[in-house]
Amino acid sequence: MTKRIKWTDRRFDFTFPAGLYPEMIERLRGTPARLEDRMGSLPAEVLQRRDGERWSIQENAGHLLDLESLVMERLDQYVARAIELHAADMSNRKTHEAEHNRVPGASILSDFREQRMQIVARLDGLDAEMFARSAFHPRLAVQMRLVDMIFFQAEHDDYHLARISELARLFAS
């Protein structure tokens, strides 16, 4: 496997115009289908197989599901004109405690789709000027516009989708 840049080591450039928000929303809208595409044909033993102590395919998908409540909370904060966003739990306690390998993968996929579509519907209903509204992101220590937060989330989705694809190549071959 190739050496990947850890999520926490990544840096982001939020210099694009806020007017790109429709494209960012589309990235979020497409994640459930991409996740279903990667997981749908794999047997449970592949979905639940760990790479050493690292998460399985199913646990990576469950992690995306676990973070949907944080995305919704942050969206609420932008609407409320908060000055600082809620910090993520970088220990990923929720994912570790959820035991995602003990539930059917299809359940994770359907729950993720449902929660993500609620977020997308909410974003679709916002006025264009809302996407330029900013708040302080505690871990990155930067002002982050709503459009940046959407981009950040889409990048996080892609990070885990790439890991899922890596694991599928490793274990399903």
Q: Can you list the domains of the chain with their CATH numbers?
A: 17-34+41-171 (1.20.120.450)
Average pLDDT across the chain, whole number: 94
Q: Map the chain to HEC letters.
A: CCCCCCHHHCCCCCCCCHHHHHHHHHHHHHHHHHHHHHHCCCCHHHHCCCECCECCHHHHHHHHHHHHHHHHHHHHHHHCCCCECCCCCCCCHHHHHHCHHHCCHHHHHHHHHHHHHHHHHHHHCCCHHHHHCEEEECCCCEEEEHHHHHHHHHHHHHHHHHHHHHHHHHHCC
* pLDDT per position as a tens digit, 24-52: 999 999 999 999 999 988 999 999 999 99
pLDDT for position 80: 97
Report pTM.
0.94
